[in-house]
Amino acid sequence: MDASKTIVVDNGTGFVKVGYAGSNFPEYVFPSVVGRPILRAEESIGNVTVRDIMVGDEAAELRSILQMSYPMENGIVKNWTDMRHLWDYTFNEKLKIDPRDSKIMLTEPPMNPKANREKMVECMFEEYGFQGVYVAIQAVLTLYAQGLLTGVVVDSGDGVTHIVPVVEGYALPHITKRLDVAGRDVTQYLIKLLLHRGYAFNRTADFETVRQIKEKLCYTSYDLEQDLKLAQETTVLVESYTLPDGRVIKVGSERFEAPECMFQPHLIDVESPGVAELLFQTIQSAPLDTRSDLYKHIVLSGGSTMYPGLPSRLEKEVKQLYLTDVLKGDVQRFRV
């Protein structure tokens, strides 16, 4: 069977990425969202027909008149009915394929419940009729894409962050770490921070707008104290953003305070170490003879690792933890 008959679907909490085996990039990327009209007042808006079930791009376009639902939470399917609507949209509207002529590779997060995986595979075989189904762990595929078999993947998307050590192509589930702080949490925290500045955003209707503000303006602070001082004493960090209705808002310290919850989850009432500490703990829990390779091959993946400054902040904190906890402060033994 040729590669064009094998499709790859990465069902993320925030976005679905779908394409064909052998391609370097996905054919389509669209929001993992299902919408239902709050009131059926109009048959169409612009060139989009209003239907009882709206999915993906169309749902995102008409979000102001829809009750929105996300079938996946923290990387795990929570609503199977809506998940089927999402798959119908993927296979019929986007790819326009006959599943009975195709094979499919699905991705899943590490530590995905077995029942979740079984139901997903059962659905692909029995409801869609695919010829073959394979489920791969996202982090392992990330390393393969970098030409690596051993390394540690920090995978942070919209719903969940995982830190996955992989040795010789196999993930180590017993020391994989999970952090329930990711892109969606950063967006919600940004809504809260902007409220303190006097800008009121609705947590559902304006969520997409604030997500776009986050993607355009937010960054990870390398030195939090210095940036806070700059924000209090100067206006150098203030940026303007034009909202869809034409209003202009000013965003200052919120630009780096929102992503800070990934390093300090207590800011959003999550009891967990931050991403840097979890990364350090993961590598230190690995077999002694693999740790050196894991430290050398730290790979970041997912939209929530794309904040400017995040890689250098992560490196700085992991080095500091290594110096303090492993070398007990002996700088002479530390080789950068």
The structural domain count of the chain equals 3
Mean pLDDT for back-to-back runs of 10 residues, the chain (336 residues): 76 90 89 82 65 83 80 86 93 90 90 89 93 91 90 91 92 92 94 91 80 94 93 91 90 94 94 95 94 94 93 94 78 59
Which pLDDT score, from 0 to 100, does residue 124 have? 93
Which pLDDT score, from 0 to 100, does residue 228 have? 93
**One domain for residues 160 and 123:** no
**Whether the Cβ atoms of residue 42 and residue 73 lie closer than 8 Å to each other:** no
**One domain for residues 44 and 115:** yes
**One domain for residues 98 and 242:** no
**Whether the Cβ atoms of residue 160 and residue 109 lie closer than 8 Å to each other:** yes
Residue 216 has a CB neighbour count (10 Å cut-off) of: 11
Residue 205 half-sphere exposure toward CB, CA atoms < 13 A: 7
Q: Which residues pair with 295 in a beta bridge?
A: none
**One domain for residues 175 and 312:** yes
**One domain for residues 21 and 129:** yes
213 occurs within a structural domain:
yes
Which pLDDT score, from 0 to 100, does residue 41 have? 58
309 occurs within a structural domain:
yes
**One domain for residues 80 and 200:** no
Residues 6+ apart with CB under 8 A from 215: none
74 occurs within a structural domain:
yes
Which pLDDT score, from 0 to 100, does residue 1 have? 46
**One domain for residues 163 and 59:** no
Q: Which domain holds residue 232?
A: 183-262
Q: What whole-number distance in Å separates Cα of residue 125 and Cα of residue 176? A: 30
